[in-house]
Structure 1
Amino acid sequence: MEHTERPEVTTGTTTSKPPTQNPLLADGTLDYRLTDLSLIRDEHWLPALEAGMAAQRTAVEAIARDDSPASVASVLHPLGLSHRLLSRVERAFSCMFSVHATPERQQVQQKLAQQLAGHRDWLTLHPGLFRRLSALKSALTEGQTSATPEQRRMLEKTLDEARGAGAGLDEATQEQLRAINLELTAVETAYEQLQRHEAAAHAAYFADLSELEGLGDQELAAAEAAAREAGHSRGALLPLNLPVQQGPLEKMTRRSARRRLHQASIARGTLTDAQGRTTNQIGAQIAVLRARRARMLGFEHHLDSVLPSRTAQDRASIDAMLRTIADGARVRLDTEIQSLHEAGVLDAGAHEADRSEDDRADSTAELQPWDISFGFAAVTRQRSSDSSTNPAQPAAASSAEDVPVEEALRQVFDAASRLYGITVVERHDLPSFAPGARSFEVFERSAEQRPQAGIGLFLLDLYARPSKSGGAWMNSFSVASTLTGSSPVVINALNITAPAPGEEAALTPSAMRTLFHEFGHALHGLLAEAEFEELSGTAVPRDNVEFPSQVNEIFQELFSGGLADAGQQPAEEDLWGKGLSTFEHVAAVVLDLAWHTLSVEEAEAAAKDPEGFSEAALIAWGLDHPLVPPRYGTGFFKHIFAGSGYAAGYYSYLWAQVLAADASQWYREQLSQQDGSGGPDGARPSDEVLAAAGTHVRRELLARGNTRDPLESYRISFGRDPEMRALLRQLGL
C-alpha cells in the first residue's frame, strides 16, 4: 500500500460553502463532491428523495413540452442532468444502508423503495418523453441532427428501457404494470428484510467455547463479542454469512458443532414475517409477479424479458454453457468426495466429546453435509504439508496462509499500480461512512512514480457487523460523468472477522481473492470515462459486470510465484476443490433460471410448494447431491429475490468466468513474451510488460464501460471472441 504524502491537487473541493440544513440537498463539501456523511440523519433521506424526484419531474416535463427540433442538446443532455440530486440521494442511501442497516434505516428503506418504484414508472412510461426520444431517433436516422456513438448508444438504451417498461402499450395495461411494479417492490423489500432478520435469528450460539475447538484466537474473540452484543452473558455466537457453506466449518473439529452451524445455515427460509410468510413463499410470490409482468410485455417468461439487455444471445446458449460445466463439475465432485473418504479426515477429526448418545451419528465414518468444508480444507492442508500431519488440527497449518490486512492492501494496490499506472494513498482526514471504514484517494502516477492528478476516492469497509449485509460487494456514491461533472467515489465492502483489540486482522486465501475481486469492480468504476452516468463504469449488462472483477483475481497470482504458462493445465493440487465450488455454484444458477423461466400458470403452481419445486429443479439437472446443497437456497437467495438485478441473471458469474478465463489466457500470452516461456523460476512479470498490457485494457475496456458494446470492447482489447476452453481448463473439466 502506498504511503506517499498526498499532493496538492484540485479535486473539486468546495469546503468554503456552508452546509445546508439537509446536507443531501446540495453538492457535497468534501473532495470529489462527497457529502460529509457524518452530517446525515435518518430524517434527511425522505425529504431529499422527494426533492430529487420533484426536480427530475420538472425537468422531464420541460423536455416533453419542448416543440423545437429534437437534438442531443434538447433531449438527451437535459434528461441526463435531470437526476443529479435524485441520483446522489439514491446512491448515498444504498451505500449507507448496505453497510449499516439500523432499524430506523430499514423503515426508511420501505418508504424509499415504494416512492422510487412509482417514480421510475412515471419516468419510463411518460408519453411526452417517449415522444421526444423517438423524435430524436428519427432526426438522427434522417440526418437532421448529429450525435456521437456514445450519445446514440445512450438514446437506444433509454428507448429500450422505456419499451421494456411498457411504453407504447395501452393505458390500461400500463396501469396494470404500475400496480405489479409497486407490489414487486414491496415483496422484494419484505424478502430482503426477513432474510436479514433470519440470518441474525439463526446465528449459532455455543455456550461452551470448547465446542469451537479449531478456530483461531481472533475468530473466537469475535464470536464471543458477537454473543455479548446479542445479549448472552457467556459463550460464543457464529453469525451466518450468505452462502450455505459457512466459513468456520473449515476449521471446527467437533462434528456436533459443525452439524449445528450447518443446520442453522440451511434452516433459513423457515421463519415468518408479520404476514405469516417465509422467504421461500415470498420468493415464489416474486416469481409469479415477474412472470405476470413478462406476459404483459409480450414475453414468455421473465428471462426472455431481460435478455435484450444482456450479452447472452438466448436461453439455449446459456443452457449449453451450463450443461457443459454442470456435467464436468459433477464428475469432478464425485472424485473429490472419494478422496475425502480415502484421506480419512473424519477418523482423524473424531472427538470423544462427539460420542455422546445425542451425537452418535456424528462420530461415524459416514460423511455428512457439515463435514464437507472441513474435509476439503483438511485435505488441502494434508496435501500441502511436507510431512505427515494431523489434518484435524487446522489452526497452525492455516495461519501461515493468512495475509495481514496491511500486506493484503499493499498487494492489491501494487498490482493495480503496475497494471494501470495509478497510486492509492490513504486519507485519514475524511469522515468514515461506516464504523471502522477507511478512505483512500486514487491518483494517476507520473513518470517520476509520484502521484499526479486525482481520479477519485476508494472507501473500504472490511469487517462484519450485525447490521451489515452479508457477502462482499462494490457500490458507488458517485460515478464518472463529463455531463454532470461528477467523479468516481466507490466503496468495497467485505465481511471478514474483526480483530481482537490490539491485534491486526488477517485475510484467508479465500478472503484475499474476494478482496482482489471486489477491487476489480472498484477499478471498473474508478477508471471509467463517460459522458453519461448511465453508461459509466460498471453500468454494463448484468452478465458482463462480473468480468473485470474476475480478471483482477488473476493478479493475486503475481504475489504467489508468478502466473502459469499460457495454455497450460493447472496442477492437480491447484484444481482441488474446483468440483465442489463449481457444483454448488451451478446448482444456484439452475435454481435462479428455474424460477424465472416459468409461465404465469407454472409459477402459480410452483408457488404452492416452493421447496418441492426447488428440489425438482435440481433433480432435473442432476444437481441434487446429498452432501452439497446449492450455494444459495430459495429461502436465502438475496441476489435474485431481494431485488431484480440478478433475477434470471445469476448465470452472469459463470458467463463472466468464460470471458475472464479467456482474458487471463491473453494476459499469460503477453507475459510469456518477456522470456518466451511464461516467466520461469516463478519470476514476477516485468513492469514494462504489465504496464503495456494494462494500459491497453484500461483504455479499451475499463474506461469504456457501457459507452459501446462490451463484447466489442472485449474483441478490441483481446483481439478475439471469448471461448470456453480456457475456463474448462481452469476448472479442471
Structure 2
Amino acid sequence: MTNPLLTDWTTPFGLPPFDVISDEDYAPAVDVALDEARAAIDAIASNADAPTFENTILAMELSEVTLGKVLGAFYGVAGADSNPAREALQRDFGPLLSAFGSEITENKALFARVQDLWTRRDALDLTDEQARVLMLTRRSFVRQGALLEGDYAVRLRDVKSRLSVLGTQFTQNLLADERSWFMTLDEAELKGLPDFVVATARSAGAEKDAGGPVVTLSRSLIVPFLQFSPMRELRKIAYEAWVSRGANGGETDNRGIAAETLALREERANLLGYDTFADYKLETEMAGTPAAVRDLLMQVWTPAKAAAESDATVLETMLKADGFDGPLEPWDWRYYSEKRRQAEHDLDEAALKPYLQLERMIEAAFSCANRLFGLEFAPLDAATYHPDVRMWDVTRNGEHVAVFIGDYFARGSKRSGAWCMAMRSQSRADGEVRPHVVNVCNFAKPEDGQPALLSYDDARTLFHEFGHALHQMLSDVTFESISGTSVARDFVELPSQLYEHWLEVPEVLAEFATHAETGEPMPADMLQRMLDAATYDMGFQTVEYVSSALVDLAFHDGPAPKDPMQKQAEVLGELGMPHAIRMRHATPHFAHVFAGDGYSSGYYSYMWSEVMDADAFAAFEEAGDAFDPALAKKLEETVLSSGGSVDAKELYTQFRGRLPGVEALLKGRGLDAA
C-alpha cells in the first residue's frame, strides 16, 4: 500500500491526512525522505558547475521538502498525543536526524561551495534576504563543526548524537512521572475547594479510572488545588510530588541525564573553540555574552527578592494565625497568597473564572488579531490527530493566510506546558507555501456539557501562544530557514509576550469576559480589581523565574558541574533564595534546558524579550490607542513578518527607534519601587 505520508495531500490546504496516517507509516516515510534529502545534498555537492546562490544555497533550502513534510506531521502529534509507539519513534529518530545533520556539515565539498560563495559575496549581486541566508548558512556550518578535521569531527558527531538521545529520554521520563502520579481525594478532602476545582478533579479521576476525584501533576489542576485546599498535609504531598518530577529514582530519574548533558555541551563548545557552552550559545543571541545576561537578571533579582521577602512576612503571619508553628513553606505560599489577594483586592478566583471562558478568550485573541492585522478566522473541517483539536482557516481580505490549529486541553498523552509549533512554515522559494500553526495548551477539560473556564494566568497563556502563532502566520519571507520564529532565541518571545498586553486592554475584557451562565459582562468593578491585581504576587513570580534563569546560566557559564543538584543548591544559596519559594523549574524537570538545547543558556530569554515587550506596548500607550493602525502596521512590517531576515536588534530599532532599558519591565511588574 502507498504510504500516505509520501503522497500528494489533497486535504484542505495540504494538511496532514491524520485520518489515514498510522504510527506504522512514520518510520518508512522518514527513511524514504532521508534518502531523498541525501540524494539532493549529494547532487549539490558534486555539481560540476561553479557555485551560485541558486544551485547551492537555494538548492539546499529545497533539499528537505519531503523530510520536513513528514516530520512536521510526526512531531506535531508526538508531543501532544504521545503513546508507546510514538515515544519509541522519537527515540529512534533523534540519532537518525542528528547523524543526517552531521553528514551535511561534515560534507567538505558542500561546505567548499558555501565558502566559495561567502568569499565572493560582495560580487554576487544578492538581495538583502539572500545575503542574510548565505551568512546564516555559512555560520551554521561553522558552528556545527564544518572546520573540524579527523578525530575532532568524529567526536563532535558522536556528542551531538548522544545529546539528541538524552533530550528525548529526558522528555519521556518527565512525561512518565507526570502521567503516573495522582492523589485520590475523598469527599472530606474536597472541603474548601471551589466548584471548578472539584469538577476538574472529578474529570481527571474519570480519565485515570480512579473511582473518584484526583489531583494530578497537570498545572491546570495542581496549582488551583494548592491555592484553595485548606488541608496543609495534602498540599505538602501534592507539592512535593510536583517538584520532584524527574527525581524519583529508577528508570525515569533525570539527574544523571542532566549531568551527562552538561558535560557533553561543554565538550561540544570546547571542540568548537569556545571556553564555555554559554559563550558558544549566546554568541548569536541579542544578549551576546553571559555577562550581559547576568547583568539583566540581577537588575531584576534584587527588587524582586525584596518584594518577595516582604510578602513572605505577611503570609507567614497568616499561617501562624491559623495555628501553625514554624516557617512559611513552599506548599503554603499559593494558599495564603490567594487568601490575601481575596482580602486586599476583593478578588476571588472562583468568582472570576466563570467570566473567563475558553471559547470567549479564543474569540478575544482572534478579535485583537482582526483589529490589529485584519485577520479573520473561520472554522475548518479537516482530519485532526485528536478529537479535542480544532482548526481555523485564517484569511485577510479574502486571501488565505494560514491554518491555525488549537489543542487546548490537558490529557495524559500530552507533555506539560504550552507551546507553539509550525507543522508547515511559510516560504515562497518554490511557490507560495502558507503555514500550518499549532498552539498546544494544558487547560483543565470540563465535564461533559460544561464550559471550559480559565484562570487569568491561563488566559494570558492562550494570548502568549497565540502571539507566537501570529509570528508564524504573518511571516513574509522567501526562505523557510528564516521564516516565522526562526530568530534569535531572546527575540522569539517578543511577539508572544507583547500579545499578552492586549488581554489587559479594558475594552477587550469588557467585550469578551462574559459569565458562562448568564452571559453578562464582567462587572466594571471586578474588571478593574482584576487589572489592578495584575502585578499582585509579582515578587514570588519573578523570584521563581529569575532563579531558574540564573541556575541555567551557571550550569553553562563555566566547567560543567559533575553534580548539577549540588550546583543548583550553591547558586540558590549565593542568591539567598527565600525559603518559601523554589525555582519554577528544578533541574530534573527543567525541560526548557534539558529536553533539547533550544533554551539552554537561554531561559533568560523570556526576560530579555520582556524588556522589549514592555517598551513596545508603551508605544501603543503613548499613541493613546491599543489598536493604533499605523503602529500595528509598523509592528507587522518590522517584527512579525520579517522572521530572521534582519538582525533582531535592527528589527526592534526599526519599530521603536531605539533599544529599550529595563525600566519599563520593572514598572510593568510593579517592582520599580521595590
Give the TM-score of the pair, scaled to structure 1.
0.85
After superposition, where does 1:503-582 map in structure 2 within 5 Å?
503-559=450-506, 573-582=533-542
Alpha-carbon deviation of 1:137?
1.4
Q: Is 1:219 aligned with 2:219?
A: no
Q: Is 1:669 aligned with 2:637?
A: no
After superposition, where does 1:41-120 map in structure 2 within 5 Å?
41-120=22-101
Alpha-carbon deviation of 1:453?
0.6
Pick from 471, 475, 481: which aligns with 2:421? 475
Question: Is the partner of 2:427 in helix, strand or coil?
Answer: coil
Q: Is the 8 A contact 1:404 1:505 kept in 2?
A: yes
Alpha-carbon deviation of 1:396?
4.4
Q: Is the 8 A contact 1:27 1:35 kept in 2?
A: no
Task: Give the whole-Å Cα distance in 2 for the aligned partners of 1:41 and 1:573.
Answer: 48
Pick from 648, 651, 656: which aligns with 2:609? 656
Q: Is the 8 A contact 2:401 2:434 kept in 1?
A: yes
Question: Is the partner of 2:442 in helix, strand or coil?
Answer: strand
User: In the alignment, what sits opposite 1:411?
Assistant: 364
Structure 1 residues 164 and 136: alpha-carbon distance in aligned structure 2, compared to 1, 3 A threshold: same
Q: Is the 8 A contact 2:215 2:222 kept in 1?
A: no
After superposition, where does 1:357-436 map in structure 2 within 5 Å?
363-364=324-325, 366-385=327-346, 396-400=350-354, 402-427=355-380, 429-436=381-388
Question: Is the partner of 1:510 in helix, strand or coil?
Answer: helix
1:503-534: per-residue Cα shift (whole Å, max 9, x none)? 11111111000111000000000000111111
Q: Which amino acid aligns with 1:474?
A: C
Q: Is the 8 A contact 1:246 1:265 kept in 2?
A: no
Task: Give the whole-Å Cα distance in 2 for the aligned partners of 1:628 and 1:377.
Answer: 15
Structure 1 residues 396 and 300: alpha-carbon distance in aligned structure 2, compared to 1, 3 A threshold: closer
Task: Give the whole-Å Cα distance in 2 for the aligned partners of 1:169 and 1:505.
Answer: 54
User: In the alignment, what sits opposite 1:301?
Assistant: 276
Task: Give the whole-Å Cα distance in 2 for the aligned partners of 1:555 and 1:466.
Answer: 32
Task: Give the whole-Å Cα distance in 2 for the aligned partners of 1:171 and 1:245.
Answer: 52
Question: Is the partner of 2:378 in helix, strand or coil?
Answer: strand
Pick from 479, 486, 490: which aligns with 2:437? 490
Alpha-carbon deviation of 1:271?
2.7
After superposition, where does 1:173-322 map in structure 2 within 5 Å?
173-201=152-180, 203-232=181-210, 234-241=211-218, 246-274=223-251, 278-322=253-297
User: In the alignment, what sits opposite 2:513?
Assistant: none
Alpha-carbon deviation of 1:220?
2.4
User: In the alignment, what sits opposite 1:617?
Assistant: 571
Structure 1 residues 120 and 329: alpha-carbon distance in aligned structure 2, compared to 1, 3 A threshold: same
Task: Give the whole-Å Cα distance in 1 for the aligned partners of 2:276 and 2:6.
Answer: 41
Pick from 449, 461, 481: which aligns with 2:407? 461
Q: Which amino acid aligns with 1:577?
A: D
User: In the alignment, what sits opposite 1:699?
Assistant: 637
Alpha-carbon deviation of 1:556?
0.5
Question: Is the partner of 1:82 in helix, strand or coil?
Answer: coil
Structure 1 residues 572 and 230: alpha-carbon distance in aligned structure 2, compared to 1, 3 A threshold: closer
Task: Give the whole-Å Cα distance in 2 for the aligned partners of 1:590 and 1:643.
Answer: 18
Task: Give the whole-Å Cα distance in 2 for the aligned partners of 1:590 and 1:295.
Answer: 22
Q: Which amino acid aligns with 1:292?
A: E
Identity of aligned residues (%): 29
Task: Give the whole-Å Cα distance in 2 for the aligned partners of 1:431 and 1:106.
Answer: 22
Of stretches 22-31 and 704-713 in structure 1, the one that deviates more from structure 2 is 22-31
Question: Is the partner of 2:393 in helix, strand or coil?
Answer: strand
User: In the alignment, what sits opposite 2:518?
Assistant: none
Pick from 575, 579, 600: which aligns with 1:647? 600
1:37-58: per-residue Cα shift (whole Å, max 9, x none)? 1211111111111111111111
Q: Which amino acid aligns with 1:617?
A: V
User: In the alignment, what sits opposite 1:14?
Assistant: none
Task: Give the whole-Å Cα distance in 2 for the aligned partners of 1:100 and 1:346.
Answer: 45
User: In the alignment, what sits opposite 2:521?
Assistant: none
Q: Which amino acid aligns with 1:136?
A: L
Q: Which amino acid aligns with 1:433?
A: Y
Alpha-carbon deviation of 1:334?
1.1
Task: Give the whole-Å Cα distance in 2 for the aligned partners of 1:642 and 1:478.
Answer: 22
Task: Give the whole-Å Cα distance in 2 for the aligned partners of 1:228 and 1:503.
Answer: 15
The size of the alignment, in residue pairs, is: 651
Task: Give the whole-Å Cα distance in 1 for the aligned partners of 2:556 and 2:107.
Answer: 28
1:459-494: per-residue Cα shift (whole Å, max 9, x none)? 001100001010111011101100143211101011
List runs of 5+ in structure 2 lacking aligned partners: 511-529
Q: Which amino acid aligns with 1:508?
A: S
Alpha-carbon deviation of 1:345?
6.3
Task: Give the whole-Å Cα distance in 1 for the aligned partners of 2:367 and 2:531.
Answer: 27
Question: Is the partner of 2:394 in helix, strand or coil?
Answer: strand
Q: Is the 8 A contact 2:555 2:564 kept in 1?
A: no
Alpha-carbon deviation of 1:621?
2.5
Q: Which amino acid aligns with 2:148?
A: L
Structure 1 residues 199 and 471: alpha-carbon distance in aligned structure 2, compared to 1, 3 A threshold: same
Alpha-carbon deviation of 1:308?
2.3
Task: Give the whole-Å Cα distance in 1 for the aligned partners of 2:302 and 2:149.
Answer: 46
Give the TM-score of the pair, scaled to structure 2.
0.92
Q: Is the 8 A contact 1:244 1:632 kept in 2?
A: no
Pick from 283, 297, 305: which aligns with 1:330? 305
Task: Give the whole-Å Cα distance in 1 for the aligned partners of 2:370 and 2:22.
Answer: 37
Q: Is 1:444 aligned with 2:396?
A: yes
Give the root-mean-square deviation of aligned CA atoms.
Answer: 2.2
Task: Give the whole-Å Cα distance in 1 for the aligned partners of 2:207 and 2:156.
Answer: 44
List runs of 5+ in structure 1 lacking aligned partners: 1-19, 351-361, 387-393, 446-451, 564-569, 673-684
Alpha-carbon deviation of 1:36?
1.1
Q: Which amino acid aligns with 1:454?
A: H
Q: Is the 8 A contact 1:345 1:379 kept in 2?
A: no
Q: Is the 8 A contact 2:80 2:414 kept in 1?
A: yes
Task: Give the whole-Å Cα distance in 1 for the aligned partners of 2:566 and 2:223.
Answer: 24
Q: Which amino acid aligns with 1:87?
A: G
User: In the alignment, what sits opposite 1:678?
Assistant: none
Structure 1 residues 117 and 230: alpha-carbon distance in aligned structure 2, compared to 1, 3 A threshold: same
Alpha-carbon deviation of 1:243?
10
User: In the alignment, what sits opposite 1:146?
Assistant: 125
User: In the alignment, what sits opposite 2:517?
Assistant: none
